[in-house]
Amino acid sequence: TYVVTDACIRCKYTDCVEVCPVDCFYEGENMLVINPSECIDCGVCEPECPAEAILPDTESGLENWLELNTRYSAEWPNITQRKDAPADADAMKGVEGKLEKYFS
């Protein structure tokens, strides 16, 4: 599966949702997550994200993100249409420590 990581937080460009063939993105207030049991591992969303927030869970160190994506995709609503990014999305791109400060 692919997972969304902290680079998405407060950036939320939503380009990813437009390309997913199985509509498996779910929306929180400040980030999106992927439902790992629905993701078919096609990889087309990865290069679409301007924040490079989407990674395959085969990369090391992503266990916590897999858990977070699994947990919140069960709670948050599905999102299938692109919407405007937050006004300060570009300023939040690449900022460190977003999980601790801004997760929701």
Q: How far is the CB of 59 from ligand F3S (least distance, A)?
A: 15
Tokens of 15: 């380009």
Residue among 38 and 48 whose Cβ is closer to ligand F3S: 48
Tokens standing for residue 16:
């990813």
Contact 51, 8 (CB under 8 A): yes
Considering only 3, 20, 39, 49, the residue that binds ligand F3S (CB under 6 A) is 49
**Selected binder of ligand F3S within 14, 35, 69, 73 (CB under 6 A):** 14
Residue 33: its H or E element: strand 32-34
- Does 59 help bind ligand SF4 (rule: CB under 6 A)? no
Residue found by looking up tokens 């300023």 in the block = 91
> Could you say which DSSP state residue 15 is in?
H
54 part of the interface to ligand F3S, by CB under 6 A? yes
Size of the site for ligand F3S (CB under 6 A): 14
47 lies in the binding site for ligand SF4 (CB under 6 A): no
